[in-house]
Structure 1
C-alpha cells in the first residue's frame, strides 16, 4: 500500500439493558485511549480519525482502510457489533483494550482480523506497518512493558470539542498494587504500579488546558497509593490552577497532610472503592485492608479538607445476604455520599474471580454484553440471582429519589464551588435518568 491509509479509531459506547447502544449529547468523562493511539501513529504513515460513539455517530458510509476498536465490559460487545458491520464491507478490523486482552482470544477473533493484547504503545506502530505491507497478523502481544517515561502528548486537538463536556483526561500512573480478585485492572497490569515523570504529567495537563478547560480528570486507577510520588505531583500542580478529580484508595485519609496538599493542587472529588460495609465480604475478594468500621471517620476527614467523595460499592459478594441491601442504603444516605455507584459483583473474564466461579460452575452467562456491572451473570451464595437483580434496581431507585439526591448532596464541603455543586447535581440527575432506563450508572 503506497498511499497513506485512512484509519478510523472508535471508542464504542456501552449497551443498555435491551442491548441497544447508549447515546448522549456530550461525552462528559472522555477516555485517553484514542488520543494516545493517534499520538503514537506516525503522521506520515496514516490519516487518523477519532470517534467516541457515546456522543458521535460512526461514519459507516465513508471509505476506511482500517478500523481500530477498544471497549470495556458491554462496550466490547458493542465493538464486536461494529466490527461485524465493517467487515461486511471488507474493511479490516483490529480490536484491543483491557477487556479484549483478558477474555478468550477466539471471542474477539470471530469479529476481528487482528487482536492486540496488552498495552498498545509498543505494538500499534507495528500493526500499521504490517497492515500497509499486507501481512496483518491475527494476534499482537506486547513483548515488553511499554516505557511510560517517554509517552508522547495525547492528541487532544483531535477530540471533538463540540461533543465534550468540561473535563479533560490526563494520566499520571498505571495500575494498582492491591490484590482484589474482581479487578480487571490489577489482572491486566499484573499488580504493577507505574508512575510517569511529574514534568511530563504537568506537560499533558497544560496541553489539556489548551484544549479548552482547566477541569482535569486523572484517569488513574489509584492516584494516591504512592504517597511520595503523589506529594511531588500534587505540589507541581498547584501553580497550574486546575480543578481535578480521580480514583483513589481510602487509605489516603490516613495522611491528613496529603489531603491538604491534594486540595491545594485542585482536587475536589475522589472516587473511592469502599465496596461494602461487610468486612466478611471484603475478605472474600481480597480487600480486607479496607475497614468499614473506619469509613465514617475517613469520609469526615476527607470533607474536612474540602474534598468530596464518590463511592464505588459492590452487591452480591459471597458473604452478602438480604440485609446487605438495607445496609448499603443506610451507609450511603447516612454518610451523604455525593455520587454513589453500586455494581453487581461481576466476574470479569480473565480475573481471579472469573476463574474461581468458572471452576465452581457458578457462571450463568458468558455473554460479554451482560458484563456491565448491572446484570447478574453468576449464581450468588446466599440469595437467588433473581433476588439480587431485582433488589439491585430497587436500591438504586431509592438512592436516587429527588429527596435522597438533595439529602446526599447536602453533605458536600461548605467551600465547594458553585460549578462543582452544579456538576454533582447534574451527575445525580443524569444517573437518575439512567436508572429509570436500567442503564448501569457510570458505564458511559
Structure 2
C-alpha cells in the first residue's frame, strides 16, 4: 500500500507565529505529531510519504503515486481539511481521516466524502482500520470503547519530517486531564485519568531527536503535563541526568495547570530538567467566572501570587485568557489586560469564548437553546465571534476583546512587560550552551532594526537588552526569542481587529434586516 499522509494548512492564528517564522526563514511552528505517530503504527511493507502543507504543498505526482490518503486535522484546519477530502475523492483515491476534529464532529468528514473515519486514539482504531482494509471493506467508521495504554505507543516517525522547517518539535508524555473545566474538550477526547509514557520511552524519543541533530525547542505537547504529578516527577528525575550528560541540548516547554504553584518540588524538578516555559490556562481573574466554568483549581490560591511564584522560580509563563463567560461583568477585557500587565506575562493567548462540540458547555447551551450551529470560517482562533448567545450584549464583549488584544500587543507595552517578566526570574536555571543556528543569526539583525531603530521602542529596546545581558545573561537567549515572537503579535492584532469588526458589522446589518422584516410583517398583519 502506498499512503500519502497529509497535514492541512493551519490558518494564521495566535499560535502560528507566522510573521516571526517568515523573518527567521522557518515554515511552521510544530510538525503533525499525531500523523507521524500513526505512521509508526502502519505496516512495515507500506510505502509512506508525509506532506505538511504548512511546509510545502504536495505534488500532482504524489497524488498519482498513492493508493490511499490519510488526513488528520484540528478544527482550525476545517477549510483545507474539507478541500483535501474532496480532492482525494475526485481523484479516485481512498480517503481516511482522523484526529481531534473528525473525532468530535464526524459528520463533517462524512459529508465531505471521506471513506474511512479512524476516530479516537489510533492505538485502538488503527488495527481495526487495517483489518477492515484487509477484508476489502470500502468504507468504515472505527471507534474505540476504551483508552489505550500509551506505554505501548511506538516512537513517532521523526525521520519523515523536514526538521529544519520547524520552530519546535513536539513529543507527548501524557494524555488526559483530571479536571473538568466546562468549556474544554480534552476530557472528552482523552479522559480524566491521565495516562503517561514511561521515562524510558520518553528518553528514547529524545535520543532519536538528539541523534538527528535537533538542538532547538521541544514542546512536550501534553494538555496538562502535571495531570499525574507522581509520574511527572519520576520522568523528570530521569530526564535531569540525561539532559546534563548532553549539556542541555534542547529548550523544553509544556502546558500545565496553575496548581503547579502548589508543588515546590515539581517546579524545581522542571527547572533543573531544562524547562524554560510553561503554558497555563488562567482564563480570567474573575473568580466568579472560574467557579461558573468549574475551574476550581484556579481558585485555591491567589492567581497573582501563583504566577509570581512560578516566574520567580525561572519559568516563563504563557497564558490563556477568555472573554465571554456567562454572568461576566462589564470590563472583563480591562481586568484581564491589567492582570497581564501586573504579572508581566509576555504571551497572553486571549480569545473569545467558543463552545466546542460535545463539551459540557456545548451540551448545556444546546439544552438552553442558546447554541449557534454555524462554526464559521475562523472558529476557535481569535478571529471568530462567539458561537452562542451570551449573557451580555455581544457587541460589548467583542469591543472589549478587540481593545484588549490591540493594547496588549502594542510594541511598547509588550517590551516593557517582557522585561519585567524576565527580571522577576530568580531561580537558577542550569547552564547550557544555546545552539545558534542560521535562523537565529538571520533573525537577530532584523529584530534589532525593527525594535531598536525603526520603532519608537528604540531606546527602551537597547537599554533593556543591555540590562538583561549584564544582569541575567543566562536568560538573554530566551528574552530575545520572546521579543522576536512579539513581531507576530504586532502584525496579527491588525488582522484580528479587521476580521472581528467586519463580522460584527455584518451581524449588526443582519439584525437590522431582521428587525425591518419583523416590523413589515407586523404592519402587514395590521393592514
Corresponding residue SS for 1:178? coil
Corresponding residue SS for 2:298? coil
Q: 2:315 and 2:93 mapped to 1: Cα distance?
A: 48
The alpha-carbon deviation at position 290 of structure 1 amounts to: 0.8
Cα contact 1:77–1:368 (8 A) shared by 2: no
Find 1:407's aligned residue among 395, 400, 416.
416
Q: 2:474 and 2:52 mapped to 1: Cα distance?
A: 31
Find 1:430's aligned residue among 488, 502, 507.
488
Given the superposition, is the C-alpha separation of residues 248 and 162 from structure 1 closer, same or farther in structure 2, using an over 3 Å criterion?
same
The alpha-carbon deviation at position 423 of structure 1 amounts to: 2.0
1:341 counterpart residue number: 349
2:404 counterpart residue number: 395
Q: Which has the larger radius of gyration?
A: 2
Bigger mean CA deviation after superposition, 87-96 or 205-214:
205-214
TM-score relative to the length of structure 1: 0.90
Cα contact 2:149–2:195 (8 A) shared by 1: no
The alpha-carbon deviation at position 380 of structure 1 amounts to: 4.5
2:57 counterpart residue number: 57
Given the superposition, is the C-alpha separation of residues 415 and 299 from structure 1 closer, same or farther in structure 2, using an over 3 Å criterion?
farther
Cα contact 2:239–2:273 (8 A) shared by 1: yes
The CA deviation string for residues 281-309 of structure 1, in whole angstroms up to 9 with x for no partner, is: 11221112212861221111112211110
| Higher helix proportion (structure 1 or 2) | 2
Given the superposition, is the C-alpha separation of residues 55 and 322 from structure 1 closer, same or farther in structure 2, using an over 3 Å criterion?
farther
2:41 counterpart residue number: 40
Q: 2:187 and 2:300 mapped to 1: Cα distance?
A: 22
Q: Confirm whether residue 174 of structure 1 aligns to residue 232 of structure 2.
A: no
The alpha-carbon deviation at position 73 of structure 1 amounts to: 1.9
Q: 1:6 and 1:136 mapped to 2: Cα distance?
A: 17
Q: Confirm whether residue 7 of structure 1 aligns to residue 3 of structure 2.
A: yes
2:387 counterpart residue number: 378
1:201 counterpart residue number: 202
Cα contact 1:73–1:369 (8 A) shared by 2: no
2:442 counterpart residue number: none
Cα contact 2:233–2:269 (8 A) shared by 1: yes
The alpha-carbon deviation at position 363 of structure 1 amounts to: 2.1
The alpha-carbon deviation at position 129 of structure 1 amounts to: 4.6
Q: 1:96 and 1:252 mapped to 2: Cα distance?
A: 32
Corresponding residue SS for 1:121? helix
Gaps of 5+ in 2: 426-471, 500-527
Q: 2:145 and 2:380 mapped to 1: Cα distance?
A: 30
Q: Confirm whether residue 30 of structure 1 aligns to residue 31 of structure 2.
A: yes
Q: Residues 44-443 of structure 1 correspond to what in structure 2 (within 5 A)?
A: 44=45, 46-60=46-60, 62=62, 63=64, 64-103=66-105, 105-111=106-112, 112-131=114-133, 133-165=135-167, 167-214=168-215, 215-239=217-241, 240=243, 241=248, 242-291=250-299, 294-367=302-375, 369-374=377-382, 375-410=384-419, 411-412=421-422, 413=425, 414=472, 416-438=474-496
Cα contact 1:253–1:302 (8 A) shared by 2: yes
Corresponding residue SS for 1:179? coil
Cα contact 1:271–1:309 (8 A) shared by 2: yes
Q: 1:289 and 1:31 mapped to 2: Cα distance?
A: 30
The alpha-carbon deviation at position 274 of structure 1 amounts to: 0.7
TM-score relative to the length of structure 2: 0.77
The alpha-carbon deviation at position 131 of structure 1 amounts to: 3.3
Bigger mean CA deviation after superposition, 406-415 or 306-315:
406-415
Cα contact 2:182–2:359 (8 A) shared by 1: yes
Bigger mean CA deviation after superposition, 240-249 or 370-379:
370-379
